[in-house]
Amino acid sequence: MNTPNTINCLVVDDEPLAAKLLTRHINQFAQLHLVATCENALEAFDLLQKESIDLLFLDIQMPGIDGLKFARSLQSPPSIIFTTAYRDYAVESYELDVVDYLLKPITIDRFLKSITKYLGQINSGRTPNHFQEVIADHEEPFMYVNTNRKFVKVVFSEVLYVESLKDYVKIHLPDQHILTKEKISEFEQKLPDFFLRIHRSYIVNINQITAYTMHDVEINDQEIPIGVSYKKEVMKYLRGNNNAFLT
């Protein structure tokens, strides 16, 4: 049974083994729902008239209408990830503003990067189909974070702070921690402007700060250090927003 946050997927590929591999990848993610697989563009076109599809995995070289021509023919296409064994179509495919271009055979790691990129586009406002309504209905802005091959919703205002652990970030919430594989510098770009980088290893939610000194900020009973190279900008920011810390 689909939930409102389900990402409806369609695979269009005339190679059974390639379609089977994509199906296996899709089924590993709780938020992804495979609506159907089609062997050609005509089958896919008929299905798109009947079903709400958010994400289309589209092979390029197919009999009849190829994937590029099919993508151009769609007036209101879903988000598209091209899948192909050939590098030659990369430039032409990106002119269609697709999410990604996957080379076969598609590994689970590369597949995960594509899904993460797709979710990033959702969070930035490039939102397909029913996702636009789902996000619009929420008063609190949020993002989906991948953890253990499951995408978990994180409401920005509930985040206390973010901690870097080498190639991972640990998102500290009031009642739990979420670990996701991403560098903190990349994760920082996805956060709203009420988050502040105070250390090479820490980003804090300024609305959660309960006290600060020249050396650290406090969030509840947790002391978080201010890095030497960040101190000047952090102090300038905090002192310029003193009203935010008055109760």
Just give the CATH number of 139-245. 2.40.50.1020
Whether the model pTM is above 0.85:
no
Q: Among residues 73, 190, 74, 97, which one has the least CA distance to residue 82?
A: 97
Tell me the pLDDT tens digit for each residue of 119-174: 877 765 544 433 333 333 434 678 888 888 788 888 889 999 999 998 999 999 99
pLDDT at 51: 94
For residues 155 and 142, the answer to whether their CB atoms sit within 8 Å is: yes
Q: Which is it for the CA torsion 40, 43, 49, 50, positive or negative?
A: negative
Q: Which residues pair with 153 in a beta bridge?
A: 144
For residues 95 and 146, the answer to whether their CB atoms sit within 8 Å is: no
* Residue in the structure block whose two tokens are 């802005």: 141
Residues of the chain below pLDDT 70: 1-4, 88-95, 123-140, 241-247
Rounded CA-CA distance 33/10 in Å is 9
Domain ranges of the chain: 7-132, 139-245
pLDDT at 234: 93
Cα torsion at 112, 177, 30, 22 (round to 10°)?
Answer: 10
Q: What is the assigned CATH class of domain 7-132?
A: alpha beta
Do 7-132 and 139-245 show the same overall fold?
no
Q: Count of CB atoms within 10 A of residue 36's CB?
A: 15
Contacts of residues 44-50 at CB distance under 8 Å and 24 or more positions apart, as own/partner, are 44/10, 44/12, 44/70, 45/70, 45/73, 47/10, 48/10, 48/74, 48/78
pLDDT at 57: 97
pLDDT at 94: 57
Write the burial class of residue 191 (CB in 10 Å: 0-12 exposed, 13-18 middle, 19+ buried): middle
